[in-house]
Structure 1
Amino acid sequence: MSKEQTQIFKVIFINQGQVYEIYAKAIYQSDLWGFLEIEEFVFGERTQMVVDPSEEKLKNQFEGVIRSYVPMHSIVRIDEVERLGVARISEAPSGGNIMSFPMPVPSK
């Protein structure tokens, strides 16, 4: 990827029993302890005749959102990708081998 091209990140996280796979141009650690900030969401263009309902649901859910704060323990994976894929929501596997990363409890 050349320096002139914009970086695109694929972020996979779990939210309320569902796996979210979204694309964004900016991600970074938040000033809010234990959160990751995701900005500049990227969704596919509507140039195709077939519309993916999962991507449309995500697009509607994040419409008007400037920045999203995702708890770090919900993050499954972050990849820097060369090209935009399809954003989607899927059901989290039940009884699978995905576990939340243990987080220390903050003390006062």
Structure 2
Amino acid sequence: MAGEKGMFGQGVYLAESSTKADQYTDDKSARSRKEKGMFLVRSCLGKIHLAKTANKLQRPPCFQSGCESDACEHSERQRCDSVVGDGSWIFREFVTYNHHQNYPEYLITYKRV
């Protein structure tokens, strides 16, 4: 799980682009050509909340009409299962808040060229 500094709070962050994942393998001020690794993950996103702006969430927001809060009193069954960040940034991000929704199927090792 990502730390609290994540754009959408503490969760498992996934991307459909390997370039997005590669950004997190080392510090951008000290890029290297050493061997790196990333997981190819199968994820069950379920009911998705589409986020156009960053929001530090503790859990997926509610999908009740007009609510869309992560701090409301609605039950867990009335919440989305994941968040997709699709705003003005370059890559979409997929966030799940329960690690059981993800299955790391392959570890891919690579070198930048």
| Class of the TM-score when normalised by the shorter of the 2 chains | under 0.3
Write 1 or 2 for the structure with the bigger share of strand: 1
TM-score, normalisation: structure 1: 0.25
TM-score, normalisation: structure 2: 0.24
